[in-house]
Amino acid sequence: MEKIVLLIPIIPIVIAFMLMFVSKKERIPRVSIFLSSMIALLGLYGTYHVIRTDTVIEGFGGLLIYNELSAILIPYVAILGLVIRKYATKYMWDEAGYKRFFILLNFIFSAIYLLIMSNNLIVLALAWQLLSISLYLLVSFNVGSDTAVKNARWIMIIHKGADLVFIFAVILTYKTFGSFDLAVLSAQWLEMSASPITDPMIFVIGLLYLLAALMKSAIMPFHIWLPYTSEAPTPVSAVMHAGVANVGGILLNKMAYLLLLAPGVLNIAFGIGLITAILATVIMLTVSDIKRSLGYSTVGQMGYMIMEIGLGAFSLAVYHLIVHGIFKATLFLESGALIKLARHESNLPKRLSYELFWEEKLKSKASKIFNYLAFLTIIPIVVFIGVKMVLSEEFFDFNASIIILAFGWLTGTQLFLSFFKVSRTETFKVVVALISSFIIILFTYEFVGLALEHFLYHEHARLFYEAATLNITLLMAVIILVVITVVGWLFMYKQHFIDVEGTQKASKIEWMFYRFLAKEGYFFSIIKRIRKGGKL
Amino acid sequence: MSAIIVLLLAGGVPYYLLLEKFTPLKSKHIFLLSGLLLLGAVVSSLYIPSGHTTSIVVIALISAIFSIYRATKTTNFYKLGYYLVFVNAPFFLLFEDQGAEYSLSLLLSLIGVFLTAQFYEKNYGSANYHHITGITLATPCIGTYLAFYLIALALYPPFPNSIFFLSYIFESEPSVLWYIVVSTIFFGNFLLAMRVMRKTLFGRENPTIHYVHMTVKEKIIHSIVIVLLLTLSVLGLKEMLL
C-alpha cells in the first residue's frame, strides 16, 4: 500500500498530459491543483509512514526511495507547488500560454520530486537534466520578451555545464565503486570512512559533485543565472528561488557519505560558501534593481547553505533550504498584493514592527546607544558559550558549531534590522529585539537542527562534523568567533545606526569598491566588450 | 579500408563541402543523402562490428568541430539537419559497437526536423527559419513539435538521444579522447539546438509574415515521430536501468 507514494514523480507528468486535452481555460488550474493536492497528501502519508515505522519505502527495482530526506522535502515541495499553482491561477490568467505554463510547471515539479526520491545515480542524472530544460522553458515563458529570452540563456549554459560535470562524476563513481545504487554506495562509503582514505579519485569525484551543486545552486562564480532571470513570471521566480536553487544542497545531502571520505571537498565548500555568502550579501545591498537585489539575496543564502555543508552540518542545510524557500516564496508571491496596497495608501502598509520601531528621531547620541547595544548583544553569546563549555565540552570539538552560531546570530540580527527598519532611539526595544533574534537562532540551531540531524543521519551525524572540522584549536575558534561577531556587529552598526549628520564623504577607494560591487564585478561590461570586439 | 568507408558513411569527413558546390544538388538532397549514408553505416555496424583507430575518431572530431562552426552560420533547417549528422559522427565512431541506437534516435529526430523544413518550404517558400520568430504563440502546434525535436537534439531527457548517449558513456572506459568527444558532442548539439530554439520558438511574432497552422495530416505524422522517439526512450531506459 505504501508503495503508492513512489508514484509521486510520475503524477505531475500525468497531469501535464491530461492538461493537453483540457480545452476550457478555467479547468486547467482546477485539474492541476486537484491532482497536485493528491501529491501533497501522498507526501504527507509517506512522511507519516517513515516516521511511524522507521523504515524507508523502496520500489521500481530500487530506483526510487522514500527515505528520511524525502520525508522532509517532498511534503515541503508539494505544498509549495500547491501554493504556487493556486497563486498562478489568477496571476497568469491574462498571459498568453496559460496552459503551457501549467504543463511546464508540472514538468519542473516532476524533475524535483524525481531528484529527491531517486536512489540511483542514473535516475538522478536524468532528473538533474530534466530540471535544466524545464527551468529554461519556464524562465523564457514570456517568449516575446527579448531580455527574458536573452537572460534565460545564462540558465541554459550554466545548467548544461552542471549537467556535464554531474555526468562525469557519475561515471567516475561507477568506475571507482562499481554501483549506481545510492543506498548501496552510501553503505559502502560509510564503511570506508572507518579507515583512512588515500585514493585521490575519491577527492576528484567529491569535487565534481560539489562543482555541479555549486552551478545549480547559483554559487559564485556561477551565480549569474539567478539574479538576471527575474523577468520570468512571479510564480516562476518563486519556484526558482524556493525550489530549483536548492537542488545543490539536496544533491550534497544525497552524497553526504561520499563527502565523509573527502574532507578536503568539505573545506572547499566551506570556503566558497563563505565567500559567496559575504560577497552576494554585499552586492545585494549595492545593486539598484530590487529584483536583482532579491536574486543576490538568494545567492547569499545558498552560500550559507553550502557553507553549512562545508562545516558538516548537512541536516542544518536542509533546514536552511526549507526555511529560506518558504521565506523567499512568500516574498515573491506577496509582492503583487503589496504593490496593490501601496497604490491605495500614500505610505507602504504599516505593520506591527513598523509601528513599534519606525519613528526616527535624529537628536539622539549614537555613541551612547552603541555602547548599550554592544554590551547587551554580545553578552548572550558569551553566556551561551560559557554554559556550553560547562555542560557539553564536545561542542568545542567541532568548530563548525561555533562558526555557524556566530553567522546565524549575525544573519538573524541583520535580517531583523533591515526588515523592520529599527530606529536608533528605541534602544530598549532594539536590545530586546536583538536578544530575541539571538534566542530564536539559538533555539533553531540547538533544537530543530539537532532533531533533524538525528532524524536524517541518526548516530552518524557526528562523523560529518569530525570530517569537516578545520583542525584549529579552541583558542583560534574563540578568536574567530569574536572577530566575526565584532566585525559583523560594527558593519551592522555602521549600516543601521550611523549618525546621518556626521557622515563623512567616501574616499576614492571606497567609491571604487562601491562601484565594483554595484556593477557586479563588471561581469556584464566585460561580456559586452568582448561581444563588440572592443578592448577590455 | 573498411574504416575509411565507415568514416565516410557516418559523416566523419565534411563531404558536404563538395556537394554544396555541386549546383544541381540542393541542401534538401544533401540532407537526405547524408541521412541515408548514416543509416547505411548503422546497418553495416550491426553486421560488421569493428573498433576504430584513434586517428579515425580524431579526423571525425575535427570535422565535427568544423560542422558546429558551419551550423552556427546557417538558418536553414535542411542544412542544420545534415550538419548535425556530421557533428555526431565521432560519437558513432567512438561507440560503433553500441552506437546504432543513438544514431537511430538521431535520425528519427532529424526526420522531425526534415518534416518541419518541408512545412516551412511549403508555407513560407523556403526551409529558412530566419525572421519566422515567435512560433510558440503564433503557431503553437508546430512550435511544440519543433521544441520536442530540438530538446531531443540538445540531448535532454526523456528523449532517446540523451538516454542512449548516457547509456554508452556510463558503460565505456573513459580516456582523454573520450572526454573530448563526449564534451564536444554534449555541448555541440546543445548549442546548435538552443540557437534554433531562440530564433524560432522565442521572439516576437513577425507582423510581415502570415503564420500558417498545421493540417491534421501533418499533425498525425509529427505525432507518429514523437511516439517513435518516446518508444525508443522506453527501450533505452529499460536497457540502461534494468
CB-CB neighbors (< 8 A) of B179 in chain A: 168
CB-CB neighbors (< 8 A) of B157 in chain A: 126, 129-130
pLDDT at res. A361: 46
pLDDT at res. B149: 93
The radius of gyration of chain B from alpha carbons, rounded to an integer in Å, stands at 18
CB-CB neighbors (< 8 A) of A132 in chain B: 156
| Rounded alpha-carbon distances, angstroms, from residue B107 to A97, A520, B34, B98, B224 | 31, 44, 10, 16, 14
Note whether B157 contacts A96, CB cutoff 8 Å. no
| Rounded alpha-carbon distances, angstroms, from residue A287 to A302, B1, B231 | 18, 63, 49
How far apart (Å, rounded) are the C-alpha atoms in residues A468 and A475?
18
Domain count, chain B: 1
Question: In tens digits, what is the pLDDT along chain A, a chain of 536 residues?
Answer: 788 889 999 999 999 989 888 888 888 989 899 998 999 999 999 999 999 888 888 888 889 999 888 999 999 999 999 999 998 888 888 888 888 999 999 999 999 999 999 999 999 999 999 999 998 888 888 888 888 888 888 888 899 999 999 999 999 999 898 888 999 999 888 888 888 777 888 999 999 999 999 999 889 888 888 888 777 788 888 888 888 888 999 999 999 889 888 888 888 998 899 889 888 888 887 777 777 788 888 888 899 889 888 888 888 888 888 888 888 888 888 777 777 777 776 665 555 555 555 554 444 455 555 566 556 556 666 666 666 666 555 555 555 666 666 666 666 666 666 555 555 555 566 666 666 666 776 666 667 777 888 888 877 877 777 777 766 666 776 777 777 777 776 766 666 555 545 556 677 787 887 788 777 777 777 777 776 665 43
Predicted TM-score of the model (pTM): 0.86
For B209, phi then psi, to 5°, come to -115, 140
CB-CB neighbors (< 8 A) of B136 in chain A: 97, 100, 143
Q: What 3-state DSSP class applies to B124?
A: helix
Strands (E), chain B: none
For residue A298, which amino acid is it?
Answer: T
Contacts of B122 (CB under 8 A, 6+ apart): none
CB-nearest to A171 from B136, B169, B241 is B169
Q: Alpha carbon A371 to chain centroid distance?
A: 34
HSE toward the beta carbon, residue A309, CA cutoff 13 A: 37
Where does the pLDDT of residue B158 fall: very low under 50, low under 70, confident under 90, or very high at 90 and above? confident
CB-nearest to B202 from A125, A149, A167 is A149
Q: What is the ipTM of this complex?
A: 0.90
Contacts of A524 (CB under 8 A, 6+ apart): none
Contacts of B147 (CB under 8 A, 6+ apart): A137, B136, B197, B201
Residues spanned by the domain of B109:
2-241
**Average per-residue pLDDT in chain B?**
86
How far apart (Å, rounded) are the C-alpha atoms in residues B142 and B201?
9
How far apart (Å, rounded) are the C-alpha atoms in residues A42 and A57?
12
pLDDT at res. A221: 85
Cβ(B136)–Cβ(B198) below 8 Å: no
pLDDT at res. A130: 92
For B76, phi then psi, to 5°, come to -110, 130
Does pLDDT of B223 surpass 90? yes
CA distance to partner chain B, nearest, from residue A82 (Å):
25
For A76, phi then psi, to 5°, come to -60, -50
pLDDT at res. A389: 60
Cβ within 8 Å of B, A 138-157: 140, 143-144, 146, 149, 153, 156
pLDDT at res. A535: 45
Residue with grid cell 502570415, as numbered in its chain: B210
How far apart (Å, rounded) are the C-alpha atoms in residues A45 and A7?
13
Cβ(A173)–Cβ(A199) below 8 Å: no
CB-CB neighbors (< 8 A) of A122 in chain B: 166, 170, 240-241
Cβ within 8 Å of A, B 31-70: none
- Bridge partners of A118, per DSSP, are A64
Cβ(A150)–Cβ(A228) below 8 Å: no
The radius of gyration of chain A from alpha carbons, rounded to an integer in Å, stands at 24
To test the contact with chain B by mutation, choose from A131, A143, A163, A205 the residue with the greatest count of B C-beta atoms within 10 A, namely: A143
Contacts of A226 (CB under 8 A, 6+ apart): A218, A240, A241, A245, A295, A298, A299
pLDDT at res. A210: 93
Q: Does B190 touch chain A (CB under 8 A)?
A: yes
Express each pLDDT in B14-60 by its tens digit.
888 888 887 777 888 888 988 898 888 888 877 776 666 788 888 88
C-alpha cell at position A438: 539571538
